[in-house]
Amino acid sequence: MTSDSEIKNEEINEESEIEVAYNKEWIPHYIYLEDLRQSGATNMFGATPYLEQARGLSKGEAMKVLSSWMEHYSALKEDGVIE
């Protein structure tokens, strides 16, 4: 018979195995965006052209990266990807 504590431990283990939702291949872009944010050069809602020019991305790709950075900002901070 399974005890309540064993069930809770299984639940915790399952939660800790969840993969990150942000794209690890985009980490250099996320770091660039954080540097841009800290510089105050632009409102981050207008960062797409900066990504296009500085990182060589198409407009569509830059929009996806920016959206991902915004959506996962807390996780990126917590994981130490950005400071």
Secondary structure of residue 49 in the 3-state scheme: helix
Cα 21-70-47 angle, rounded to 5 deg: 135
The model's pTM is 0.75
DSSP annotation of 40: T
Tell me the per-residue pLDDT of 46-61, one tens digit each, with 9 for 90 and over: 999 999 999 999 999 9
Q: What is the pLDDT of residues 27-83, one digit of tens each?
A: 999 999 999 999 999 999 999 999 999 999 999 999 999 999 999 999 999 999 999
